[in-house]
Amino acid sequence: MCDELYNTGFDSKDRISASAGWTFLPGNRFGVTYTGYKAENVGSPSYFSDNDKTSKIRTSTNRKVNLNYQGQTNDGFWAWSMRYYNGENKRNADSANNAPKDEQQGGQAQLTADWSPVRITAGVDWTYYEKANTYDNPAAFLLTKTKLLDDRLVISAAIRYDQFTMEDEDGTSTDDSNWTPSVGAAFKITPELRVRANYAEGFKVPTAEQLFRYNDYGYAVLEGNPDLIPEKSKTYEVGLDFNKGSLHSSVTYFNTKFEDKISYVNPTSGYWTYENIPGATISGIEGNLGFDIGAFFDWSVELAPYVSLTYLSEYEDDDTGEDLYYNPEWRMSYGVRFAMRDLGLVAKLNFAYFSDQLITDYEGTGQDKLNGYTVADLTIAKTLFTFEKYGDISLKTDIRNLFNEDYQLVQGYPSPGRSFFVSLSYQY
Protein backbone atom coordinates (compact mmCIF):
# COMPACT_ATOMS: atom_id res chain seq x y z
CA MET A 1 0.00 0.00 0.00
CA CYS A 2 1.34 3.44 -0.89
CA ASP A 3 1.71 6.26 1.62
CA GLU A 4 -0.19 8.74 -0.54
CA LEU A 5 -3.52 8.52 -2.33
CA TYR A 6 -3.12 9.95 -5.83
CA ASN A 7 -5.72 11.39 -8.21
CA THR A 8 -7.72 13.28 -5.57
CA GLY A 9 -7.56 16.74 -7.16
CA PHE A 10 -9.88 18.63 -9.47
CA ASP A 11 -9.70 21.40 -12.07
CA SER A 12 -12.53 23.51 -10.71
CA LYS A 13 -15.56 23.56 -8.44
CA ASP A 14 -18.13 26.33 -8.71
CA ARG A 15 -21.08 26.91 -6.41
CA ILE A 16 -23.86 29.46 -6.58
CA SER A 17 -26.75 30.22 -4.26
CA ALA A 18 -29.32 32.97 -4.63
CA SER A 19 -32.61 33.72 -2.91
CA ALA A 20 -35.26 36.41 -3.01
CA GLY A 21 -38.60 37.00 -1.29
CA TRP A 22 -41.62 39.25 -1.37
CA THR A 23 -43.90 40.06 1.55
CA PHE A 24 -47.06 41.24 -0.18
CA LEU A 25 -49.46 41.16 2.79
CA PRO A 26 -48.92 41.06 6.58
CA GLY A 27 -47.86 37.50 7.40
CA ASN A 28 -47.79 36.46 3.72
CA ARG A 29 -44.49 35.90 1.96
CA PHE A 30 -43.39 34.27 -1.29
CA GLY A 31 -39.79 33.15 -1.73
CA VAL A 32 -37.56 31.53 -4.35
CA THR A 33 -34.13 29.95 -3.87
CA TYR A 34 -31.71 28.64 -6.49
CA THR A 35 -28.59 26.57 -5.81
CA GLY A 36 -26.14 25.26 -8.37
CA TYR A 37 -22.86 23.35 -8.44
CA LYS A 38 -20.40 22.34 -11.16
CA ALA A 39 -17.13 20.40 -10.88
CA GLU A 40 -14.73 19.48 -13.67
CA ASN A 41 -12.12 16.71 -13.88
CA VAL A 42 -12.51 15.44 -10.34
CA GLY A 43 -10.19 12.55 -9.55
CA SER A 44 -11.78 9.13 -8.93
CA PRO A 45 -8.96 7.27 -7.13
CA SER A 46 -10.85 4.09 -6.08
CA TYR A 47 -9.61 2.16 -3.03
CA PHE A 48 -6.41 3.13 -1.26
CA SER A 49 -5.11 -0.43 -1.80
CA ASP A 50 -5.78 -0.24 -5.56
CA ASN A 51 -5.19 3.43 -6.37
CA ASP A 52 -6.53 4.40 -9.82
CA LYS A 53 -4.37 7.33 -10.95
CA THR A 54 -6.20 8.17 -14.19
CA SER A 55 -9.98 7.81 -13.79
CA LYS A 56 -11.85 11.12 -13.68
CA ILE A 57 -15.35 12.39 -13.20
CA ARG A 58 -15.19 14.73 -16.17
CA THR A 59 -18.14 16.85 -15.17
CA SER A 60 -20.52 16.76 -12.23
CA THR A 61 -23.36 19.24 -11.96
CA ASN A 62 -26.47 19.76 -9.90
CA ARG A 63 -29.05 22.48 -9.60
CA LYS A 64 -32.16 22.98 -7.50
CA VAL A 65 -34.98 25.51 -7.53
CA ASN A 66 -37.21 25.90 -4.49
CA LEU A 67 -40.45 27.92 -4.43
CA ASN A 68 -42.28 28.52 -1.15
CA TYR A 69 -45.21 30.50 0.14
CA GLN A 70 -46.27 31.09 3.75
CA GLY A 71 -49.33 32.94 4.92
CA GLN A 72 -51.80 33.45 7.73
CA THR A 73 -54.94 35.33 8.62
CA ASN A 74 -54.72 38.62 10.54
CA ASP A 75 -55.82 36.98 13.79
CA GLY A 76 -53.36 34.07 13.34
CA PHE A 77 -56.11 31.43 13.62
CA TRP A 78 -55.42 30.01 10.16
CA ALA A 79 -51.88 29.51 8.85
CA TRP A 80 -50.75 27.77 5.69
CA SER A 81 -47.64 26.97 3.71
CA MET A 82 -46.82 25.54 0.29
CA ARG A 83 -43.54 24.45 -1.29
CA TYR A 84 -42.41 23.05 -4.63
CA TYR A 85 -38.88 22.05 -5.61
CA ASN A 86 -37.24 20.76 -8.77
CA GLY A 87 -33.66 19.54 -9.10
CA GLU A 88 -31.28 17.69 -11.37
CA ASN A 89 -27.90 15.92 -10.98
CA LYS A 90 -25.62 14.89 -13.85
CA ARG A 91 -22.31 13.09 -13.91
CA ASN A 92 -20.00 12.15 -16.77
CA ALA A 93 -17.18 9.82 -15.75
CA ASP A 94 -14.53 7.63 -17.35
CA SER A 95 -15.72 4.26 -16.08
CA ALA A 96 -18.34 2.44 -14.03
CA ASN A 97 -18.67 5.61 -11.97
CA ASN A 98 -20.76 7.00 -14.81
CA ALA A 99 -24.36 7.62 -13.87
CA PRO A 100 -27.45 8.74 -15.76
CA LYS A 101 -29.15 12.02 -15.10
CA ASP A 102 -30.94 12.12 -11.75
CA GLU A 103 -34.07 14.28 -11.59
CA GLN A 104 -36.06 15.08 -8.47
CA GLN A 105 -39.15 17.06 -7.73
CA GLY A 106 -41.70 17.30 -4.99
CA GLY A 107 -43.90 19.50 -2.92
CA GLN A 108 -45.69 20.01 0.37
CA ALA A 109 -48.81 21.87 1.44
CA GLN A 110 -50.28 22.21 4.91
CA LEU A 111 -53.00 24.07 6.73
CA THR A 112 -53.03 24.80 10.48
CA ALA A 113 -55.89 25.88 12.73
CA ASP A 114 -55.09 27.16 16.23
CA TRP A 115 -57.99 26.86 18.65
CA SER A 116 -55.69 27.39 21.66
CA PRO A 117 -55.07 25.22 23.56
CA VAL A 118 -55.55 22.81 20.61
CA ARG A 119 -53.57 23.18 17.40
CA ILE A 120 -54.29 20.95 14.38
CA THR A 121 -52.29 20.67 11.16
CA ALA A 122 -53.24 18.70 8.05
CA GLY A 123 -51.22 18.40 4.89
CA VAL A 124 -49.97 16.49 1.86
CA ASP A 125 -46.45 15.63 0.78
CA TRP A 126 -45.06 14.37 -2.53
CA THR A 127 -41.59 13.14 -3.55
CA TYR A 128 -40.55 11.94 -7.00
CA TYR A 129 -37.19 11.11 -8.51
CA GLU A 130 -36.07 9.49 -11.71
CA LYS A 131 -32.70 7.96 -12.47
CA ALA A 132 -32.37 4.61 -14.27
CA ASN A 133 -35.47 3.84 -12.22
CA THR A 134 -38.28 5.93 -10.77
CA TYR A 135 -39.59 6.51 -7.26
CA ASP A 136 -42.98 8.11 -6.59
CA ASN A 137 -44.20 8.80 -3.04
CA PRO A 138 -47.41 10.77 -2.36
CA ALA A 139 -48.40 11.09 1.30
CA ALA A 140 -50.88 12.77 3.65
CA PHE A 141 -50.56 13.58 7.33
CA LEU A 142 -52.50 14.92 10.32
CA LEU A 143 -51.01 16.12 13.58
CA THR A 144 -52.35 17.77 16.70
CA LYS A 145 -50.85 19.42 19.77
CA THR A 146 -52.73 20.23 22.99
CA LYS A 147 -51.49 22.34 25.92
CA LEU A 148 -53.09 21.77 29.34
CA LEU A 149 -52.57 22.75 32.99
CA ASP A 150 -51.41 26.27 32.18
CA ASP A 151 -49.16 24.91 29.41
CA ARG A 152 -47.30 22.61 31.80
CA LEU A 153 -48.58 19.51 29.99
CA VAL A 154 -48.21 19.18 26.21
CA ILE A 155 -49.72 16.20 24.37
CA SER A 156 -49.06 15.58 20.69
CA ALA A 157 -50.25 12.94 18.24
CA ALA A 158 -49.81 12.39 14.51
CA ILE A 159 -50.56 9.95 11.75
CA ARG A 160 -49.15 9.74 8.22
CA TYR A 161 -50.19 7.71 5.21
CA ASP A 162 -47.61 6.95 2.49
CA GLN A 163 -48.00 5.29 -0.87
CA PHE A 164 -44.89 4.19 -2.80
CA THR A 165 -44.36 3.12 -6.39
CA MET A 166 -40.95 2.13 -7.78
CA GLU A 167 -40.24 1.11 -11.36
CA ASP A 168 -37.07 -0.22 -12.95
CA GLU A 169 -35.87 0.87 -16.39
CA ASP A 170 -37.10 -2.43 -17.88
CA GLY A 171 -40.65 -1.78 -16.62
CA THR A 172 -40.54 -3.99 -13.52
CA SER A 173 -42.41 -2.24 -10.72
CA THR A 174 -43.45 -2.63 -7.12
CA ASP A 175 -45.69 -0.62 -4.83
CA ASP A 176 -46.71 -0.48 -1.20
CA SER A 177 -48.45 1.73 1.35
CA ASN A 178 -48.36 2.25 5.09
CA TRP A 179 -49.86 4.11 8.05
CA THR A 180 -47.36 5.42 10.64
CA PRO A 181 -48.71 6.85 13.94
CA SER A 182 -46.88 8.66 16.73
CA VAL A 183 -47.84 10.05 20.12
CA GLY A 184 -45.95 11.98 22.77
CA ALA A 185 -46.30 13.93 26.00
CA ALA A 186 -44.16 16.38 27.95
CA PHE A 187 -44.78 17.60 31.49
CA LYS A 188 -43.02 20.55 33.14
CA ILE A 189 -42.44 19.52 36.76
CA THR A 190 -40.83 22.86 37.60
CA PRO A 191 -39.99 25.85 35.39
CA GLU A 192 -36.52 24.30 34.91
CA LEU A 193 -37.29 20.55 34.76
CA ARG A 194 -39.34 18.76 32.12
CA VAL A 195 -40.03 15.04 31.62
CA ARG A 196 -41.15 13.63 28.26
CA ALA A 197 -42.09 10.38 26.57
CA ASN A 198 -42.74 9.47 22.92
CA TYR A 199 -43.78 6.52 20.82
CA ALA A 200 -43.44 6.43 17.03
CA GLU A 201 -43.69 3.86 14.30
CA GLY A 202 -41.51 3.99 11.20
CA PHE A 203 -41.72 2.59 7.70
CA LYS A 204 -38.81 2.44 5.25
CA VAL A 205 -39.49 1.25 1.76
CA PRO A 206 -36.57 -0.32 -0.14
CA THR A 207 -35.03 2.05 -2.66
CA ALA A 208 -35.24 1.40 -6.38
CA GLU A 209 -31.49 0.65 -6.37
CA GLN A 210 -31.88 -1.89 -3.55
CA LEU A 211 -34.60 -3.59 -5.55
CA PHE A 212 -33.23 -3.42 -9.09
CA ARG A 213 -29.57 -2.35 -9.04
CA TYR A 214 -26.88 -4.40 -10.81
CA ASN A 215 -23.18 -3.48 -10.77
CA ASP A 216 -20.28 -5.69 -11.84
CA TYR A 217 -17.12 -4.18 -10.37
CA GLY A 218 -14.89 -6.95 -11.72
CA TYR A 219 -13.86 -8.21 -8.30
CA ALA A 220 -17.46 -8.42 -7.04
CA VAL A 221 -21.08 -8.13 -8.14
CA LEU A 222 -23.73 -6.10 -6.32
CA GLU A 223 -27.28 -7.01 -7.32
CA GLY A 224 -30.62 -5.74 -6.11
CA ASN A 225 -33.33 -7.98 -4.68
CA PRO A 226 -36.84 -7.44 -6.14
CA ASP A 227 -38.33 -9.58 -3.34
CA LEU A 228 -37.41 -7.09 -0.60
CA ILE A 229 -40.26 -5.89 1.59
CA PRO A 230 -40.34 -2.61 3.56
CA GLU A 231 -38.73 -2.54 6.97
CA LYS A 232 -40.80 -1.33 9.90
CA SER A 233 -39.79 0.03 13.27
CA LYS A 234 -41.26 0.95 16.65
CA THR A 235 -39.43 3.46 18.81
CA TYR A 236 -39.99 4.26 22.48
CA GLU A 237 -38.14 7.05 24.25
CA VAL A 238 -38.23 8.81 27.60
CA GLY A 239 -36.19 11.80 28.63
CA LEU A 240 -35.50 14.70 30.97
CA ASP A 241 -34.64 18.32 30.15
CA PHE A 242 -33.11 20.68 32.69
CA ASN A 243 -32.50 24.31 31.74
CA LYS A 244 -31.64 27.03 34.20
CA GLY A 245 -29.92 30.27 33.37
CA SER A 246 -26.72 29.51 31.47
CA LEU A 247 -27.08 25.74 31.88
CA HIS A 248 -28.84 23.62 29.23
CA SER A 249 -29.00 19.84 29.53
CA SER A 250 -31.01 16.82 28.44
CA VAL A 251 -30.83 13.04 28.59
CA THR A 252 -32.90 10.54 26.58
CA TYR A 253 -33.21 6.77 26.60
CA PHE A 254 -34.42 5.23 23.33
CA ASN A 255 -35.28 1.74 22.12
CA THR A 256 -36.05 0.87 18.50
CA LYS A 257 -37.31 -2.52 17.34
CA PHE A 258 -37.01 -3.29 13.63
CA GLU A 259 -38.92 -5.86 11.62
CA ASP A 260 -37.61 -7.05 8.25
CA LYS A 261 -34.64 -4.67 8.41
CA ILE A 262 -32.92 -4.27 5.05
CA SER A 263 -29.27 -5.35 5.21
CA TYR A 264 -26.32 -6.25 2.97
CA VAL A 265 -25.52 -9.96 2.78
CA ASN A 266 -22.79 -11.99 1.07
CA PRO A 267 -24.36 -15.36 0.21
CA THR A 268 -21.41 -16.42 -1.97
CA SER A 269 -17.89 -15.11 -2.42
CA GLY A 270 -17.74 -12.06 -4.66
CA TYR A 271 -21.54 -11.68 -4.83
CA TRP A 272 -23.44 -9.15 -2.74
CA THR A 273 -27.12 -8.42 -2.44
CA TYR A 274 -29.78 -7.08 -0.04
CA GLU A 275 -32.05 -9.15 2.19
CA ASN A 276 -34.58 -8.60 4.95
CA ILE A 277 -33.34 -9.84 8.30
CA PRO A 278 -36.15 -10.95 10.67
CA GLY A 279 -35.55 -8.29 13.30
CA ALA A 280 -33.05 -6.01 14.98
CA THR A 281 -32.83 -3.86 18.10
CA ILE A 282 -31.04 -0.57 18.64
CA SER A 283 -31.19 1.06 22.07
CA GLY A 284 -29.11 3.51 24.01
CA ILE A 285 -28.77 6.92 25.61
CA GLU A 286 -28.40 10.41 24.17
CA GLY A 287 -27.24 13.34 26.24
CA ASN A 288 -26.48 17.05 25.83
CA LEU A 289 -24.84 19.52 28.19
CA GLY A 290 -23.95 23.14 27.59
CA PHE A 291 -22.94 26.02 29.86
CA ASP A 292 -22.31 29.66 28.94
CA ILE A 293 -19.59 30.81 31.34
CA GLY A 294 -19.75 34.35 29.98
CA ALA A 295 -23.45 34.72 30.67
CA PHE A 296 -23.09 33.17 34.14
CA PHE A 297 -20.51 35.79 35.18
CA ASP A 298 -22.27 38.53 33.22
CA TRP A 299 -19.33 39.02 30.88
CA SER A 300 -19.66 40.87 27.59
CA VAL A 301 -18.43 37.78 25.72
CA GLU A 302 -19.86 34.31 25.14
CA LEU A 303 -17.69 31.41 26.31
CA ALA A 304 -19.74 28.24 26.12
CA PRO A 305 -18.28 24.72 26.40
CA TYR A 306 -20.64 21.93 25.32
CA VAL A 307 -20.83 18.19 24.85
CA SER A 308 -23.34 15.84 23.22
CA LEU A 309 -23.08 12.07 23.03
CA THR A 310 -24.86 8.93 21.93
CA TYR A 311 -24.14 5.54 23.48
CA LEU A 312 -25.62 2.37 22.00
CA SER A 313 -26.16 -0.24 24.69
CA GLU A 314 -27.61 -2.65 22.12
CA TYR A 315 -27.37 -2.85 18.33
CA GLU A 316 -27.86 -6.41 17.23
CA ASP A 317 -29.62 -8.79 14.88
CA ASP A 318 -32.38 -10.39 16.98
CA ASP A 319 -32.15 -13.65 15.02
CA THR A 320 -28.39 -14.24 15.25
CA GLY A 321 -27.44 -12.06 18.21
CA GLU A 322 -24.62 -10.50 16.18
CA ASP A 323 -23.89 -6.77 16.25
CA LEU A 324 -25.20 -4.67 13.37
CA TYR A 325 -22.73 -3.19 10.93
CA TYR A 326 -22.04 0.55 10.56
CA ASN A 327 -23.16 1.40 14.10
CA PRO A 328 -20.41 2.91 16.29
CA GLU A 329 -21.05 2.20 19.96
CA TRP A 330 -20.06 5.77 20.92
CA ARG A 331 -20.52 9.08 19.13
CA MET A 332 -19.51 12.32 20.77
CA SER A 333 -19.26 15.98 19.83
CA TYR A 334 -17.66 18.43 22.23
CA GLY A 335 -15.95 21.78 22.15
CA VAL A 336 -16.36 25.44 22.94
CA ARG A 337 -18.01 28.47 21.34
CA PHE A 338 -16.56 31.95 21.76
CA ALA A 339 -18.18 35.20 20.62
CA MET A 340 -17.62 38.92 20.98
CA ARG A 341 -20.85 40.17 19.42
CA ASP A 342 -19.91 43.84 19.69
CA LEU A 343 -16.88 43.20 17.50
CA GLY A 344 -18.65 40.78 15.17
CA LEU A 345 -16.27 37.95 16.10
CA VAL A 346 -17.44 34.35 16.45
CA ALA A 347 -15.22 31.26 16.87
CA LYS A 348 -15.90 27.56 17.44
CA LEU A 349 -13.58 24.65 18.18
CA ASN A 350 -15.34 21.31 17.77
CA PHE A 351 -14.14 17.74 18.33
CA ALA A 352 -16.07 14.81 16.81
CA TYR A 353 -15.42 11.29 18.10
CA PHE A 354 -16.64 7.98 16.64
CA SER A 355 -15.73 4.61 18.13
CA ASP A 356 -14.91 1.45 16.15
CA GLN A 357 -17.67 0.08 13.92
CA LEU A 358 -18.14 -3.24 12.13
CA ILE A 359 -18.18 -3.02 8.33
CA THR A 360 -18.67 -5.16 5.24
CA ASP A 361 -15.29 -5.84 3.60
CA TYR A 362 -16.03 -4.73 0.03
CA GLU A 363 -12.34 -4.02 -0.55
CA GLY A 364 -11.40 -7.64 0.10
CA THR A 365 -8.55 -6.89 2.53
CA GLY A 366 -9.84 -8.95 5.45
CA GLN A 367 -10.63 -5.80 7.42
CA ASP A 368 -13.83 -6.25 9.44
CA LYS A 369 -14.06 -2.86 11.17
CA LEU A 370 -13.24 0.82 10.85
CA ASN A 371 -11.09 2.15 13.65
CA GLY A 372 -12.39 4.90 15.89
CA TYR A 373 -11.17 8.45 15.42
CA THR A 374 -11.41 12.02 16.71
CA VAL A 375 -11.42 14.96 14.30
CA ALA A 376 -11.12 18.62 15.32
CA ASP A 377 -12.43 21.58 13.28
CA LEU A 378 -11.81 25.26 13.98
CA THR A 379 -14.00 28.05 12.59
CA ILE A 380 -13.41 31.79 13.00
CA ALA A 381 -15.72 34.43 11.49
CA LYS A 382 -15.37 38.21 11.63
CA THR A 383 -17.74 40.90 10.37
CA LEU A 384 -15.59 43.36 8.42
CA PHE A 385 -18.14 45.98 7.40
CA THR A 386 -21.68 46.74 8.50
CA PHE A 387 -23.96 48.96 6.44
CA GLU A 388 -27.09 50.08 8.23
CA LYS A 389 -29.39 49.56 5.27
CA TYR A 390 -27.34 47.32 3.01
CA GLY A 391 -26.20 44.34 5.05
CA ASP A 392 -22.84 42.97 6.20
CA ILE A 393 -19.56 41.76 4.71
CA SER A 394 -17.90 38.95 6.67
CA LEU A 395 -14.69 36.95 6.47
CA LYS A 396 -14.71 33.30 7.56
CA THR A 397 -11.81 30.88 8.04
CA ASP A 398 -12.23 27.12 8.46
CA ILE A 399 -9.48 24.70 9.44
CA ARG A 400 -10.84 21.18 9.06
CA ASN A 401 -9.08 18.20 10.60
CA LEU A 402 -7.01 20.62 12.62
CA PHE A 403 -4.61 17.99 13.98
CA ASN A 404 -4.28 16.08 10.69
CA GLU A 405 -5.96 12.91 11.93
CA ASP A 406 -5.57 9.80 9.72
CA TYR A 407 -9.06 8.28 9.50
CA GLN A 408 -11.64 6.74 7.16
CA LEU A 409 -15.38 7.31 6.89
CA VAL A 410 -15.62 4.62 4.20
CA GLN A 411 -13.34 1.60 3.94
CA GLY A 412 -10.49 2.12 1.51
CA TYR A 413 -11.02 5.88 1.13
CA PRO A 414 -8.85 7.96 3.49
CA SER A 415 -10.43 11.25 4.50
CA PRO A 416 -8.65 14.55 3.76
CA GLY A 417 -5.91 15.73 6.08
CA ARG A 418 -5.67 19.24 7.45
CA SER A 419 -7.52 21.60 5.09
CA PHE A 420 -7.83 25.39 5.04
CA PHE A 421 -10.77 27.36 3.66
CA VAL A 422 -11.30 31.12 3.52
CA SER A 423 -14.54 32.71 2.37
CA LEU A 424 -15.83 36.25 2.00
CA SER A 425 -19.61 36.70 2.20
CA TYR A 426 -22.08 39.50 1.77
CA GLN A 427 -25.45 39.14 3.45
CA TYR A 428 -28.27 41.55 2.90
Q: Where are the domains of the chain?
A: 76-427
pLDDT at 141: 97
pTM of the model: 0.85
* More confident: 99 or 251: 251
Q: For the segment 102-137, what is each residue's pLDDT rounded down to a tens digit?
A: 899 999 999 999 998 999 999 999 999 887 788 899
- Give the lowest-confidence range in 94-103, 115-124, 234-243, 255-264: 94-103
Residue 48 DSSP class: G
pLDDT at 98: 53
pLDDT at 300: 92
Q: For the segment 205-233, what is each residue's pLDDT rounded down to a tens digit?
A: 887 778 777 777 666 677 888 888 889 99
Beta strands in 149-270 (DSSP E): 153-167, 173-188, 193-204, 214-216, 221-223, 231-244, 247-268
Q: Tell me: pLDDT of 370 over 70.
A: yes
* More confident: 234 or 60: 234
Q: For the segment 380-401, what is each residue's pLDDT rounded down to a tens digit?
A: 999 998 887 778 899 999 999 9
**What b/e readout covers 369-399, taking b as 16+ CB neighbours within 10 angstroms?**
ebeebebbbbbebebeeeeeeeeeebeeebb
Nearest residue to 258 (alpha-carbon basis) of 321, 318, 179, 326: 318
CA atoms within a 13 Å half-sphere pointing along the CA-CB vector of 192: 8
pLDDT at 134: 85
pLDDT at 42: 87
- Give the lowest-confidence range in 80-84, 112-116, 241-245, 275-279: 275-279
pLDDT at 57: 83
Q: How confident is the model at residue 427 (pLDDT cuts 50, 70, 90)?
A: confident
Q: For the segment 133-142, what is each residue's pLDDT rounded down to a tens digit?
A: 888 999 999 9
Paired strand residues for 65: 34, 86
pLDDT at 1: 40
Q: For the segment 265-284, what is each residue's pLDDT rounded down to a tens digit?
A: 766 666 778 888 888 999 99
Q: What is the distance between the alpha carbons of residues 187 and 252, in angstroms, rounded to a whole number?
A: 15
DSSP secondary structure, 238-273, as one string: EEEEEEETTEEEEEEEEEEEEEEEEEEEEEETTEEE
Q: For the segment 16-58, what is each residue's pLDDT rounded down to a tens digit?
A: 988 899 999 888 999 999 999 999 888 888 888 788 888 888 8
Q: Tell me: pLDDT of 100 over 70.
A: no
Q: Tell me: pLDDT of 97 over 60.
A: no
Q: What is the distance, to the nearest Å, from the Cα of residue 47 to the centroid of all Cα atoms in its chain?
A: 25
Rounded percentage of the chain residues whose pLDDT exceeds 90: 57
CATH class, domain 76-427, is: mainly beta
* More confident: 377 or 409: 377
CA atoms within a 13 Å half-sphere pointing along the CA-CB vector of 87: 21
Q: Tell me: pLDDT of 414 over 80.
A: yes
Q: For the segment 179-196, what is each residue's pLDDT rounded down to a tens digit?
A: 999 999 999 999 999 999
Q: Tell me: pLDDT of 243 over 90.
A: yes
